[in-house]
Structure 1
Amino acid sequence: MLHAVIMAGGSGTRFWPASRKHKPKQLLNLAGSRTMIQSTLDRLGDLVPPQRQHVITNRVLVDEIRKQLPDLPPENVVGEPCKRDTAPCVGLAAALVSHDDEDATMLVMPSDHVIADPAAFRDAVQAGQRLIDEDPDRIVTFGIRPTYPAESFGYIHRGEPIAAVGGKAFYVKRFREKPSRATAEDYLSTGEFYWNSGIFMWRASLIRDALARHQPDMHGHLQTIADAIGRPDYADVLEREFTAIDGTSIDYAVMERHPNVVVIEAPFPWDDLGSWQSLSRLHEPDDHGNTVVANHIGIDTGGTIVHGDPDHTIVTIDVEDLVIVQTKDATLVAHKNAEERVREAVAELQKRGSDSLL
């Protein structure tokens, strides 16, 4: 059966001050009336019932996620004892899913993507399921056709097509790390590269075997956790063994090493909502290029992103290309070209011990 696994452990520091330690961006409604994680599960529709939906997250977020996703069984929201990157996250999920369903297929998704056509997304997932049913040794990923030479995404180099799904799926030649601008332009010009969406499908048993082969030490800790599922000491074993893992990404641990990986060209619009500038792609700018999700008065203001509480008026005069974010206890004002440095502000707050603002 198909199980959905949502990775929801990110801290979302680039969305400070709206995103905080106990309510990062996946728990905010940045792209609509529903929060990011709610929208992630909404787009599954009837494809995967709640009892086969699983969330792996930061331990401090478990209670809030359970509140936001009341239809999920509480035990399906699992808190990692510590941050160990995506490979241990996936391995833990595979162990939990396999405990109840030895033949499980896993759909693994980040919790903070925007996908505007849920029906097309479900069609793509079903195509992935067919590919795995044809060959259980396959790993399926979803590639986004690039629209500009992005330096902030990993890339997938496609190979020969798989005719069985209408030429929209391809064997993967190689995964590529985040490129330089010149390399990204080369990728774009060939038409053979996709952005790596970070959405994967595989048999749970396959990913566990792959981790055993390529990451034996990690697998050993995960297997000890798996053996303890249902026992009274499970929580203690999870704490001890997961903390002992030397974490790495699932891309490096498995995807770049597995010989049978297929990419489906995503038929749905996609955005990873990586920074405040992403709002300009989700909300149509005004005649002056301003993206406003706030009560805003702009006088001679252009190219600016404004986000704030609706009961708080933000006035800008004679400014351009800023990011302005207002919350009840903090305000960010930054040049758009410097918004990556928001992480520096978060680090400074940590240094000062300003825990209430983190």
Structure 2
Amino acid sequence: MLHAVIMAGGSGTRFWPASRKLKPKQLLALSGQRTMIQSTVDRLGDLVPKEQQWIITNQLLADAVREQLPELPSENVVGEPCKRDTAPCVGLAAAMIQRIDADGIMVVMPSDHVIASHEKFQAAIKAGEKLIEEDPTRIVTFGIKPSYPAESFGYIERNDAATLDAGDVSAFRVKQFREKPDATTAQEYLDRGTFYWNSGIFLWRASTITDALKKNVPEMSDHLSKIADAMGSTDFDSVLQKEFSAIKGTSIDYAVMESYDNVVVIEAPFPWDDVGSWQALSRLQDPDENNNTVVGQHIGIDTKGSIIVGQPDHVIVTIDVDDLIVVQTKDATLVAPKAAEERVREAVKALEERGMTDKL
């Protein structure tokens, strides 16, 4: 059976002040009426039954996630007691799924991406399933054909000589995973044409990933097995707290993907955006005649190329400004040049240092 695992534990600090500790970006509606995590579940359609959809989030957000996704079984929303990166997140889901479905296949995805075509997304997942059915030890990932030399994404280098039969999509054996590059290297990747952005979407048998974790990070695997063994028992919460907290966190790329020798990349046939920062809004909705992206009420006088986000009952007026980000919430306002958007994290850190935890 196919199971879907949605990773929803991120803090979304680059979307401060809208994104907060108790309501990070995956719980916000940044592109439409549905929140990002609701849209991620919507994308699955009938591909995966609701009882086989799993949300791995953090304990602080578990109830809010259940409230936003009442159609999912409550026990399928699992709250991690602490942040331990993506390998324990994936491993926990895999261990739990394997207990109830020994041959289960997992599609793993972040909760904060925008993928416009549900039909193309589901077709790509089905193509990946076919590749895994042909070779159960295979891992499938999805690469995004780069449209510019991005420095903020990891990359996947494909082996151009080994195209695989995956129906209507293009699939290649993976040659190497690459870390986020500098500007010169990113341009080189773009020019060579054999590199993809790493989407962070994966497909594999639960047994394949648990075996890989057991081999590469055995101590982590032991803790995860103990948690999975406690599924359905009255001790589950206490075992989860104890064993998960004892794990040394690392990413799934580092723990498995970079060293695994049977990885296939499907060139994603669907439009994709990782919605990593406020400038993503300009890609998700059409700017006005002055290239401003506006959410809320705005009066712009000689204002160009800016992103303006405000509360519905609040008017933002800008005069003679270019390329600004202005975000207003009920208790905080952000004003920054678009070129400095990565420094929003510094603002969050400064709030922490000053003890202004009510603004986080």
TM over 0.5: yes
How far apart, in 2, do the equivalents of 1:166 and 1:319 lie? 47
What's the counterpart of residue 14 of structure 2?
Answer: 14
- Counterparts in 2 of 1:260-275, with a 5 A limit? 260-275=262-277
What's the counterpart of residue 321 of structure 2?
Answer: 319
Residues 60-104 of structure 1: per-residue CA shift (max 9 Å, x gap): 001110010010000000000100000000010011111211111
What's the counterpart of residue 216 of structure 1?
Answer: 218
- Counterparts in 2 of 1:81-160, with a 5 A limit? 81-159=81-159, 160=162
Deviation for aligned residue 1:163: 3.2
Q: Is the 8 A contact 1:14 1:342 kept in 2?
A: yes
How far apart, in 1, do the equivalents of 2:318 and 2:233 lie? 59
Unmatched 5+ residue regions in structure 2?
none
What's the counterpart of residue 34 of structure 1?
Answer: 34
Report SS of the residue matched to 1:43.
helix
How far apart, in 1, do the equivalents of 2:36 and 2:134 lie? 33
Q: Is the 8 A contact 1:161 1:167 kept in 2?
A: no
Deviation for aligned residue 1:167: 6.5
Structure 1 stretches of 4+ moved >3 Å: 163-167
1:234 and 2:247 matched? no
Deviation for aligned residue 1:165: 3.2
Read off the aligned partner of 1:234 and give its amino acid letter.
Answer: F
Deviation for aligned residue 1:135: 0.5
- Scaled by the length of structure 1, the TM-score of the pair is 0.99
Deviation for aligned residue 1:228: 2.1
Q: Is the 8 A contact 2:142 2:199 kept in 1?
A: yes
Q: How many residues align?
A: 358
How far apart, in 2, do the equivalents of 1:241 and 1:163 lie? 42
Report SS of the residue matched to 1:60.
coil
How far apart, in 2, do the equivalents of 1:199 and 1:7 lie? 10
What's the counterpart of residue 176 of structure 2?
Answer: 174
Unmatched 5+ residue regions in structure 1?
none
Deviation for aligned residue 1:231: 2.7
- Counterparts in 2 of 1:179-198, with a 5 A limit? 179-198=181-200
How far apart, in 1, do the equivalents of 2:145 and 2:166 lie? 20
How far apart, in 1, do the equivalents of 2:206 and 2:221 lie? 13
Residues 9-50 of structure 1: per-residue CA shift (max 9 Å, x gap): 000000000000000000000011100000000010100111
Q: Is the 8 A contact 2:127 2:166 kept in 1?
A: no
Report SS of the residue matched to 1:202.
strand
- Counterparts in 2 of 1:329-348, with a 5 A limit? 329-348=331-350
Q: Is the 8 A contact 1:30 1:36 kept in 2?
A: yes
How far apart, in 1, do the equivalents of 2:352 and 2:175 lie? 42
- Scaled by the length of structure 2, the TM-score of the pair is 0.98
Report SS of the residue matched to 2:143.
strand
How far apart, in 2, do the equivalents of 1:344 and 1:292 lie? 24
Report SS of the residue matched to 2:239.
helix
Task: Provide the alpha-carbon RMSD of the alignment.
Answer: 0.9
